[in-house]
Amino acid sequence: MNGIEQDRAQTAAPATAPIGLPVEIGDDGIVTLRLGRSDERVVTITPERMSDLAAALDRIASDTRVRGVIVTGPNLPAEGPGMFCAGADIQLIDSIADAAAGEAAATRGRTLLARLQQLRVPVVAAIDGPCLGGGCELALFCDVRLATDEPGTQIGLPEVKLGILPGFGGTQTLPRLLGLPKALDLILTGRLLRGKQALRTGLVDRLVPRTKLLAAARAEVEKLAAKDRKRPARRLRGLAFWLSKTPLRWFAARAATQQLQRGPGRFYPAPHAALQSCLNAFTMPVEQGFAAEARQLGRLVVTPISKGLLRLFFLTERSKRLGKHDAARDLQRALVVGGGVMGAGIACELAQRGLAVRLCDLDLQALVRGKARLGKELDKRVRRKRLTAPEAMAIQDRLQASTEWGHLRDTDLWLEAVVEDLQVKRKLMGLAIERGLPEHAVLATNTSSLSVTAMAEGLPHPERVVGIHFFNPPEKMPLVEVIRGATTDDATVATACRLAVRMGKFPVVVGDAPGFLVNRCLAPYLNEAARLVLEGTAPEAVDKAMLDLGMPMGPCRLLDEVGFDVATKVSEVLQNGFPERMQPCELFAAMAGAGLLGQKTGGGIYGKDGKRPGPGRKVIAELRAAHGTPGREASRSEIVQRLIYPMVDEAYRCVDEGIVAHEDDVDLGLVMGIGFPPFTGGITRYARREGLSTIVHALDELARLHGPRFEVSDGMRRRATS
C-alpha cells in the first residue's frame, strides 16, 4: 500500500491524511511528519490524532523510499508562537472513570509512540514550543531531539502535578536516557525545562535557532542515514551509570523518597508510584516495565486526588482566560504609591513583567529597600542563569524610585499601597486625577479591607477604580483578588485581570464586601483556632490537625506570620461587616497589646524558628486563667469541624451573596490564597465529599454548644437537602 502519492511528494504539498496530519515526503526520501494541521495552535493527543498518527506511521513504514523522518509541530518555520505537542488531552484524562480503561489507554498510546522507535529509519524530533507530557514521551521515542532556545520552548513531564505519572513510557525511556538521578528530578517534580536547560540535562541533543531547525533536523537525518544507522550511540556514564545500572541505584531512590516525604508530599501518591516505575526501567525487562507503568497510571488516574488536581488545573486555565477579555488593555507605565512591603513588592513584580514603574514614597530609605529587594532577587536569578545581566539591568532600570510622582500623562496604571485609611486613599486618588492622570488609566487600590466603592465615590470616572489585592509576599503568592466596586466597569476589571495574568498570577474577580473572598473565609478559621487554644487545646495540636488535612501551614503559625496587628485590624473590619459570625477572638488584641505581633517582632505563639513555643504562650496562659474554666483538649475531629466547616459555610455564603460568580472562584481562591489542599479540588469539592448534610448537622450542633457564629446559611442548608 503506497499511501504517499507521487505528485504530492514532488510539489511537497501537505498530503491530507484522513483526519488531517500533514505528511510531506521530499525528493531526498526524508519525511516531515507534522503533529498537527497548520491551523492548529494547540496540539494535544486525542484518539483522532492517534489514529491519524498510526496511519501516517503505516505509510512511512511501508514506503521503501523513506530514508528518515522528522517529527515536528504544526507551524514551523512560520512566525508565531511555537507548538510541538502539549501532551494528552486533559479533558480526556479527566473523563477516564475506571482503572482498566486508564491502563488500556496508556498501553495504546505508548505502543503507538514506540513505533517511532521501531521504524528502521532514523527519526528526529524538531521541537519548538511546548513539548509536554505525552508530547515529551513522543520525543523520547525519537532517535535525536533538536530544540530551539525560544522562550516558548518548554520540555518536561508534568504529569505528577496532575496526580498521575507519565503513562506513555516516560518513566522508562527518560531514566534510560538521562540516568536515574536526573530523570527522577524531572519526573517527580514535574519541572519543565527551557531549551538551554534541556540541552544541559541531555534531554535534547542540540539547540538550533528556530529558522534553522528544520534544516538542522534534515542534516541530522542525513548524517545517520549516510552511516546507515538508526540512532547515535549513547550510553550512561560515570555517576549516572552507577546510580542507574547497578544496585547503587538504591541511594538515588532513597534520596528521592526522603525528598518526597518532606512537606505535603505525603498526600500525593503519584510521585511515589512514578519513583517505583522509574526504578523498574533498570530492574525489569522492557515490556514488563512499560506494562507496570500503564497499570500504575490506571490506578492513579481514577483517584480523587488526581481528579482534584485536574479540576484545579481547569480552574487555573479558567482564571487565565479572564485576561483574554476583549475589553482588557495592556498596561505600560505604572505609578505605585507607597513604598512599604506590599507597594515595593508589587512594583518589583510589575517591573519584572515589563512595565515602566515609578515607585513613590516620601521615605527615601523605604525606596532604597525596595530597590535593594529587587536587586537581590535579580542577582540571584542572574547567578542561576535564569536571567542575563543586561535583562536584570533593564528590569532594575524600569523601576524608578522617587519621592516625586512626576507627571502622569503616560501613566496607565496608578496603584496605591499606602496605609489602610479610606480618607488618605481617597485623597491620593483625587490628587492623581488632579495631576493629570489620563482618563483611560486604571486607578487601583491594594486594600485588603476597605470598600473600593467608597473610594471611588465622588471621583470623576469612578468606573476605572478597581481593587487589585495582592497577598503578602506578592512575589510568592499566586492569587490576586480583583475587586469590582459598585461603579467599576467591565473593561477595568478585565484589564486588572489581564495584568494579574501577565504577572503570572491567578485573578479571581470578587465583589466589594468586607474581607472580599479570601480574608472573609479565613477569618472564622483563624478566630476559631485562637478560641480552641484559649479553651485549652495546644496550638501544636490545632496546627497538626490542619497539617494532616493537607494545609501548608497550621493556623497558629499562620497567625504569627500574618501578625497580630494585622489580624486585629482585619478582624475589626470583618466584625463590622458580619457582627454575628466574626467576633474576633480576644487573643488577637491581647497579643497585639503585649507587643507580640508574631514573626516580625521575633515570635508570637511560636518562637522565631516557628517551631518552639514562643513568648505568646504567657499571654495564652493568662487568658486561659482569666476564663477560669478548666482546660479542655479538643479532639482532632472537633478541631476540623470547628475550623473547616465554618469556612465551608462562609464559602457558600460568598457564592450566594454574589461576592464571586461561581463555586469555581471559591475553590481556586482558597487554594491559591490560603493553600487549601489542592488535591481536594477546592473547598466545595471537599465539602461534597465530606457530605453537605454531615457538615450542616455538625454546624447545627456547634451552634447549639457555642452560639450563633456557627449558624448555617440558608443556601448551605438548601444545598444539603437537595
Partner 1 sequence: MSKKTDRSGDLAIIAGLRTPFCKAGGAMQRASAGDLASFAIRELLDRVDIDRRAVDEVILGCAGADAREANVARVAALRAGLPEHTPAMTVMRNCASGMEAILAAQTKMRAGEGEVFVVGGAESMSNFPLLMGPALVKFFTRLGKARSLGQRVRALTSFRFGALRPRVAIVEGLTDPTTGLMMGETAELVARRFGIERAQMDQFALRSHERAAAAQQAEMFVDELTAFLPPDHRGAITADDGVRSNQTLEALAKLKPVFDRHNGDVTVGNSCQITDGAVALLCTTAKKAKALGLSPLAYVRGTSTAGLSPRVMGLGPVHATPGALQRAGIGFDDLDLVEINEAFAAQVLGCVRAFADDGYCRQQLGLSGAIGELDPHKLNVDGGAIALGHPIAATGARLVLTLARALRQRDQRYGLATLCIGGGQGQAIVLEAA
C-alpha closest to that of 437 among 419, 468, 410: 410
Q: How far, in Å, CA of 497 to CA of 550, rounded?
A: 29
The 10 Å Cβ neighbour count of residue 330 is 12
Closer of 3 and 375 to partner 1 (Cβ):
375
Instruction: Find cell 523518597 and name the residue.
Output: 257
Grid coordinates of 321: 482566560
Closer of 261 and 403 to partner 1 (Cβ):
403
Q: How far, in Å, CA of 291 to CA of 108, rounded?
A: 11
Buried b / exposed e along 71-82 (16+ C-beta atoms within 10 A): bbbbbbeeeeeb
How far are the Cα atoms of 48, 233, 421, 493, 709 from residue 517, in angstroms, in the given order?
42, 57, 20, 16, 18
Binding site for partner 1 (CB under 8 A): 356, 358, 364-365, 367-368, 371-372, 375, 393-394, 396-398, 400-404, 406-407, 409-410, 436
Closer of 95 and 402 to partner 1 (Cβ):
402
Q: How far, in Å, CA of 237 to CA of 578, rounded?
A: 65
Q: How far, in Å, CA of 19 to CA of 7, rounded?
A: 20
Q: How far is the CB of 341 from partner 1 (least distance, A)?
A: 16
Q: How far is the CB of 103 from partner 1 (least distance, A)?
A: 56
Closer of 64 and 365 to partner 1 (Cβ):
365
Name the catalytic one among 272, 469, 662, 697: 469
Which residues have a Cβ under 8 Å from the Cβ of 209 and sit 6 or more positions away? 148, 149
Q: How far is the CB of 398 from partner 1 (least distance, A)?
A: 7
Q: How far is the CB of 360 from partner 1 (least distance, A)?
A: 10
Closer of 255 and 368 to partner 1 (Cβ):
368
Find out whether 414 and 443 touch, Cβ atoms under 8 Å: yes
Q: How far is the CB of 175 from partner 1 (least distance, A)?
A: 45
The three-state secondary structure class of 144 is strand
Closer of 368 and 661 to partner 1 (Cβ):
368
Q: How far is the CB of 400 from partner 1 (least distance, A)?
A: 5
Q: How far is the CB of 389 from partner 1 (least distance, A)?
A: 11
- Report residue 444: phi and psi, to 5°: -115, 150
Find the helix or strand (DSSP H, E) in which 357 lies.
Answer: strand 356-360
Q: How far is CA 271 from the centre of its chain?
A: 17
Q: How far is the CB of 505 from partner 1 (least distance, A)?
A: 25
Closer of 236 and 355 to partner 1 (Cβ):
355
The 10 Å Cβ neighbour count of residue 235 is 7
Closer of 13 and 389 to partner 1 (Cβ):
389
Closer of 307 and 371 to partner 1 (Cβ):
371
Q: Which residues on neighbouring strands pair with residue 155, listed in sequence order?
A: 131, 193
Closer of 288 and 402 to partner 1 (Cβ):
402
Closer of 161 and 371 to partner 1 (Cβ):
371
- Report residue 483: phi and psi, to 5°: -100, 120
Sign of the C-alpha dihedral, residues 393, 395, 396, 402? positive
Q: How far is the CB of 410 from partner 1 (least distance, A)?
A: 7
Is 461 part of the annotated catalytic residue set? no
Which residues have a Cβ under 8 Å from the Cβ of 603 and sit 6 or more positions away? 560, 596, 614, 615, 616
Which residues have a Cβ under 8 Å from the Cβ of 123 and sit 6 or more positions away? 68, 69, 70, 71, 116, 117, 141, 142, 143, 144
Find out whether 354 and 393 touch, Cβ atoms under 8 Å: no
Q: How far, in Å, CA of 248 to CA of 246, rounded?
A: 5
C-alpha closest to that of 639 among 498, 544, 507, 522: 544
Buried b / exposed e along 248-280 (16+ C-beta atoms within 10 A): ebeebbeebbebbeeeeeeebbbbbbbbbbbbb
Q: How far, in Å, CA of 623 to CA of 347, rounded?
A: 41
Q: How far is the CB of 350 from partner 1 (least distance, A)?
A: 14
Q: How far is the CB of 408 from partner 1 (least distance, A)?
A: 9
Grid coordinates of 158: 508534568
Grid coordinates of 639: 478541631
Q: How far, in Å, CA of 348 to CA of 338, rounded?
A: 13
Order of strands across the sheet that contains 23-25: 23-25, 30-34, 68-72, 123-127, 144-147, 206-207
Active site residues: 469
